């Protein structure tokens, strides 16, 4: 009876260790995937190579405020809504130089 209990205990420890190993592998893969995604998003173009392109959005509401923003394509827009409706989501406050 004691041998059976010891064998069950050993089996449970091994099973627990295996599940911890799987969890650790999943965690490491998640971290690696996260780092890859961050590095890809940090390498997005700022408009120099044509990836910041104006694409007019249908059914977009534009406000008439005067609050100039500089789009990633180097174009000054009257306000953020005008830039966003032109497909430019990456902009800085203020007119372009």
Domain ranges of the chain: 1-43, 46-97
pTM of model > 0.75: no
Q: Three-state secondary structure along 4-60?
A: HHHHHHHHHHHHHHHHHHHHHHHHHHHHHHHHHHHHHHHCCCCCCCCCCCCCCCCCC
CATH architecture for segment(s) 46-97: 2-Layer Sandwich (3.30)
Condensed to tens digits (0 to 9), the pLDDT of residues 34-79 reads: 776 655 444 444 445 557 999 988 889 999 999 999 999 999 999 9
Which is more confident, 81 or 16? 81
């Amino acid at each position: 009876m004691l041998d059976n209990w010891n064998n069950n205990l050993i089996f449970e420890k091994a099973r627990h260790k295996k599940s911890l190993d799987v969890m650790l592998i999943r965690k490491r893969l998640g971290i690696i995937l996260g780092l890859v995604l961050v590095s890809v998003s940090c390498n997005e173009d700022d408009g120099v190579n044509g990836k910041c392109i104006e694409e007019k959005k249908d059914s977009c509401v534009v406000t008439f405020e005067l609050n100039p923003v500089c789009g990633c394509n180097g174009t000054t827009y009257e306000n953020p809504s005008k830039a966003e409706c032109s497909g430019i989501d990456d902009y800085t406050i203020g007119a372009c130089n």
